Every structure is written in C-alpha cells, then in structure tokens.
Amino acid sequence: MRVGDIAAGRAGDKGDTLDLSLVACDQAAYELLCKALTPERLQPLMNRIVPGPVMRYEVPGLRALKFVLPQALPGGVYASLHPGLHWQKAAIWLLLDLHVEDEGHTLLAPVDRQERRP
Amino acid sequence: MTHQVCVLGAGAGFAGDRVDPAVVLARAGVDAVVLECLAERTLVPAIRARRDNPQAGYDPRLVRRLTPLLPVAREKGCRIVSNLGAANPVAAAERIARLARELGLPGLKVAAVVGDDVSDRAAQVRWVREPGAPLLGAHAYLGCHRLADALAQGADVVVTGRVADSALFSAVARDRLVPGEDALAGAIGVGHLLECGGQLTGGNYEPIAGAGLPPPLSAEQYASLGYPLARVMADGSAEIGLPPGAPGIVDALTCSLQLLYEVHDPSYYATPDLVVDFSGVRFETLGENRVRMSGVRSKGPPPTLKVAGFVDRPGFIMDCEIALAGAGARERAEVMAQALRLRLGDWADGDIAVDLVGAGSVLRAGSQPMQGPAPEMRVHVSARCSDGEQAQIIEDEVYAMTLSGPAGGCSVRSEKRPRIEVLDGFIEHQQVPTQLHWSQS
C-alpha cells in the first residue's frame, strides 16, 4: 500500500531544515503509519537523497506525523544545486511514494527504480 | 459560548502572490486584510535597493498590489496589515499615503513599524554559527504589540519590515480577546494557519484518493482560488472559511497540513510574543468549507527574539540547461550529460550537478521510474562559481554542445543566482525597541 493512498502530506523548509507532514485518512491508517514510518527505518531511505538524521513527532489528535530533517538542506534552499529553485516543495513525495504493508509484520520499501525500469 | 470579535482575511502569502484575492476578501467584509509579502530572503534585494536609494527598499510590487485594494478597503472600512515595508517601512508608508492621494482617498492613516533592523547590534546577537563574512543585514522578528498599538491609535494601514508572519494577524485581534495568554496563543495560531494564503484553501494540496474526500480542484478553481478568512472568537478559537462563492477546500485535512507546515516540534512553536503549543489543536467540521479551530495553548513568552542575518558569499550559482527532442532524446541527453561532466571536470563533485530534467532531477534517487521513451529531455547543469568568469564558462560549455555535442541540442536557457546565506541568531527583547512612524494621505 502506498503511503499517499492513506495520507496527505506537505513539505516545508526553514534554513537547513526540511520538514515533512503526513495526515492519515483514518485511525487505522494513522496507527499503520506510526508503526511503519519509524525514524530508524526512514533515515537510510531518506539518506539516499538528503543528508542527516530524521526526527519524528506524533500529533495523535490530528492523526498526523511530523518528520524533521535538520541537516537535509545544507546552506538552505538557495544553496541547492538542484535545477531551479525550491525542489524541496516536492520532497513530500519521498514519503508519499513509499510502500507500507501490514500483514502480521510491518514493511517499508521505496519504489525500486532499477526493478521497475522497462 | 464565546463570541466573535473580528474577521481576518489572508490576501497574500508571499511577495509575488496574486493581487486579486485580497480585493475579494475586502469586498466580503473582513475587518482586516493581511498581506504577507516578506519571505526570509525577500529582504536581501530590499536591503540592496535601500543602499542604492534611501527612498527604496520596500516591496517593488506595492503600487500594483494596493491600487485595486485601497479603494475597496476604504469603502468597506477594512484595515490593511502588511510586511511589504521590507527593508524600509517608513518609505513604504509614505508611498502608500501618496498612492491614496493619487487614488482620491484623503485622510488615510498609515503607520510604519520601525525597529526590526538590528544591523548596528549584530555583535549582541548570539549567532548559531560564526558569520565568517561581512553581514549584508540583520533583522529581528518583531511580535504583534507595536502593530496592535498602531491599530488602536486609528491606523487604516499598518506596514512593517520583518515581523513574525502570525503577528500580522494576532495584532488585529489582540485588544478584542479575553485576557490571558491562551487567547493570544489562539490568535497566533490563526495567523500561522492563514499566513500562506491559498495553501490553506486547497492550493498545493492533493486529497487522498478513495478516502471519500472532495475531489482535487479544477483548473478554473485553481485560477480563481479563494483565500482564507477566519472569524476569531474572544477566546482565541476561530472559524476558518472562504469568501462567499469563492472556490477552494477548507476541511480538517487542509487545516491540519497547514497547521504543521514549517513547524518543527508541534508542542513548542516559538514566536516573538509567545511559545505556542499546537499538540492539542482540534479541527471540527461545521459545514462545507467551514472548520472550527480550537485548543491552541500558550507556553509563555520566549526567552529571546529570533534574528535573520544575511551573509554575502562571493560568486554565483549558475543554472543552465539545454533541450533534446525527437526519437532517442533520452539516449542523446545521457551522452550529453556525460560529455558535460568530462568538459567540466575542474569543478569538485560537491560544487556541480548534472541532471536530466524529466528523469529524476527533482527527487533524484527517490524518483518514480521512467515509463517508455521521452519525447524530449533537458540536460541541466548547476554549479557553484567563484566569480562571473567561471559562471560564463558553465554557460559557454553548455552552449558549445549545440555545435560539438550529440545532435539537436536546442532551447538553451540559463540563470545566474547570487550566493546568499541566511544565518539565524537570537537577541534579547530589550535590545530591540520599536516605534511608529505616521503618514497620512
């Protein structure tokens, strides 16, 4: 199941920090995301794209998870060598496009580019 | 049950935002329209402009933005609060008064809030790291109180430089709230929710498919998106909505996403007036595009004010790209990217990036796989350059691919960006006195 099928999201930035918010569509989805999207599991996936640690805050009243990556945007968005300005506004798809499963155990996997390439 | 004390509208969420939503909100009868027009870095060109001309340094879009708004605001008795004063709020206030005279609106009282510029106290700022180069400028984030004083003294328009975005809103509510920090914290929360304009009402938002939510907005709806308004209650809670008939989506999901936007610890969001706690916020649906927000709490005043300092680094970032089209565009683009890496081998790995636009240049290793051949592709080079000559070399090498690279290199474009670094710091409240400067049409 794709994260984006059970949650909406938005990316923001302040200085070197990237922040990613997810809001789950219902309580079951929220609980699944809490189990699947642990900072320990996310960090190696995120570090394929951005550097530094991943911190997580839970906001159960809003069924929301908040991910904060304090070193992800070194020098701020204007120092980025991505084409054009503000690539980080699309960074929420790094989470929305992950896959989570919950059949006795929890799994988290990115789309595999090599496998899926025609 | 608490009673409504004011209606606030968010007419702009950044300097380049649309002009017309503010006019729609003023016509709808809000008590004040807030125009948030000053991102962190927007101050940099303003500081430079003021250096060249002491009468400049405010938002250059001031006249275009306020010309359609001032007459409607006058007719409806709607206040305007904006940070479009940027690096020169006094000059902005004088320009607004002059614009009001030109529009035949005498007696408009415009207050400029002065004091955010702390460049002369940079040594008293605790920077998170050493600036390491001369500062172009340093501005403290002001709170709502001097703005609220201006409104209490009869200002029709309040114009500021750097203030917390949420303070532009809480300033209007301050004197109408019940006593106590939680009510002001609520108004700050409302301001935080509204400060990005259309991002609260369905902009930059994709509903979850299959969750029974309203469908994504249509092109026509995005093109005439309504910007948000908030009916603020005396206890700092609020009803969030849209102007009558304006398209958009206001539901618990859009509100939750915007509440958490650019917040780090949701239980500790520091603003100049109060540290606010969003962890207990509730969004309750009252009807179509009507959501009640409550539960923002105060954690007391923050120990210091935040300062944004700007460090001028020599050189540029050069952004340059070239297109390939027709059958085999992808393959020719990959060869061209590799040829450019060979030509630009003088640049260290961390100072240059060569990407294929259309094949993962934005999310890189996190991109979706490409399906089928691309009808066209762009090869993009971004490089840190120590001076203009280096930047020219980047552009020239990309251009030279039109003659000496794979067939069909075309549609070249390039942009040279200055290298400005934003540095955070903290300063004691008492080091940042503020005052009002009045202009009248």
Q: pLDDT tens digit string along B96-153?
A: 999 999 999 999 999 999 999 999 999 999 999 888 888 999 999 999 999 999 999 9
Tens digits of residue pLDDT in B363-383? 999 998 888 899 999 999 999
Q: Is B13 on the interface with A (CB under 8 A)?
A: no
Q: pLDDT confidence of B311, banded at 50, 70, 90? A: confident
- Residue corresponding to tokens 């809001």: A23
E strand residue ranges, B155-304:
157-159, 229-233, 238-241, 269-270, 275-277, 282-287, 290-294, 297-298
pLDDT, residue A118, reads 35
Percentage of chain B with pLDDT > 70? 100
Comparing B30 with A117, the larger pLDDT belongs to B30
Those of residues 200-229 in B touching chain A at CB distance below 8 A are: 204-211, 213
Q: What is the distance in angstroms between the Cα of A59 and the nearest Cα belonging to chain B?
A: 6
pLDDT, residue A115, reads 41
Query: Which of A17, A62, A97 best probes binding to B when mutated, by most B CB atoms within 10 angstroms?
Result: A62
pLDDT at B333 exceeding the cut of 80: yes
* Number of structural domains found in chain A: 1
| Average pLDDT estimate for B26-53 | 94
Tens digits of residue pLDDT in B60-95? 999 999 999 999 999 999 999 999 999 999 999 999
Q: Which residues contact B275 (CB under 8 A, 6 or more apart)?
A: B268, B269, B298, B299, B300, B301, B302
Instruction: Answer yes or no: is A17 within a domain.
Output: yes
pLDDT tens string, chain A, 118 residues long: the values are 899 999 999 999 998 999 999 999 999 999 999 999 999 999 999 999 999 999 999 999 999 999 999 999 988 888 899 998 899 999 999 999 999 986 555 567 665 444 433 3
Number of DSSP helices (H) and strands (E) in chain B, helices first: 12, 19
Closest by Cβ to B257, choosing from A5, A21, A118: A21
Q: Is B364 on the interface with A (CB under 8 A)?
A: yes
| Average pLDDT estimate for B247-272 | 97
Instruction: Answer yes or no: is A71 within a domain.
Output: yes
What is the domain extent for residue A62? Answer: 3-77+88-102
Instruction: Answer yes or no: is A82 within a domain.
Output: no
Q: What is the distance in angstroms between the Cα of A105 and the nearest Cα belonging to chain B?
A: 24
pLDDT, residue A78, reads 84
Pick the residue from chain A with its C-alpha nearest to B349.
Answer: A81
pLDDT at B294 exceeding the cut of 90: yes
A1 is written with which tokens?
Answer: 């199941």
The answer to whether B363 contacts A93, with C-beta atoms less than 8 Å apart, is yes
**Concatenated DSSP letters of B378-399:** EEEEEEEESSHHHHHHHHHHHH
pLDDT at B227 exceeding the cut of 60: yes
How far apart CA A87 and CA B281 sit, in angstroms, is: 30
Query: Which of A81, A96, A114 best probes binding to B when mutated, by most B CB atoms within 10 angstroms?
Result: A81
Domain ranges of chain B: 4-116+139-301+430-440, 309-423
Instruction: Give contacts of B374 with chain A, Cβ < 8 Å.
Output: none
pLDDT at B1 exceeding the cut of 60: no
Closest by Cβ to B421, choosing from A12, A79, A110: A79
| Average pLDDT estimate for B391-420 | 95
Q: Is residue B439 helix, strand or coil?
A: strand
pLDDT at B305 exceeding the cut of 70: yes
Query: By the 8 A CB rule, do B405 and B334 touch?
Result: no
The answer to whether A66 contacts B353, with C-beta atoms less than 8 Å apart, is no
pLDDT, residue A110, reads 63
Instruction: Answer yes or no: is A117 within a domain.
Output: no
Instruction: Answer yes or no: is A24 within a domain.
Output: yes
Instruction: Answer yes or no: is A67 within a domain.
Output: yes
pLDDT, residue B272, reads 98
Q: What is the distance in angstroms between the Cα of B20 and the nearest Cα belonging to chain A?
A: 24
- The torsion angle over the Cα atoms of residues B127, B133, B134 and B140, rounded to 10 degrees, is -20
| Average pLDDT estimate for B185-203 | 98
Instruction: Answer yes or no: is A108 within a domain.
Output: no
Q: What is the CATH number of domain B309-423?
A: 3.30.70.100
The answer to whether B266 contacts A13, with C-beta atoms less than 8 Å apart, is no
Those of residues 143-202 in B touching chain A at CB distance below 8 A are: 199
Q: What is the distance in angstroms between the Cα of A53 and the nearest Cα belonging to chain B?
A: 14
Strand partners, B267: none
Query: Which of A2, A6, A10 best probes binding to B when mutated, by most B CB atoms within 10 angstroms?
Result: A10
Instruction: Answer yes or no: is A109 within a domain.
Output: no
Q: What is the distance in angstroms between the Cα of B98 and the nearest Cα belonging to chain A?
A: 35
Q: What is the distance in angstroms between the Cα of A89 and the nearest Cα belonging to chain B?
A: 9
- Residue corresponding to tokens 């009869």: B154
Query: Which of B14, B136, B264, B394 best probes binding to A when mutated, by most A CB atoms within 10 angstroms?
Result: B264
pLDDT, residue B325, reads 98
pLDDT at B413 exceeding the cut of 60: yes
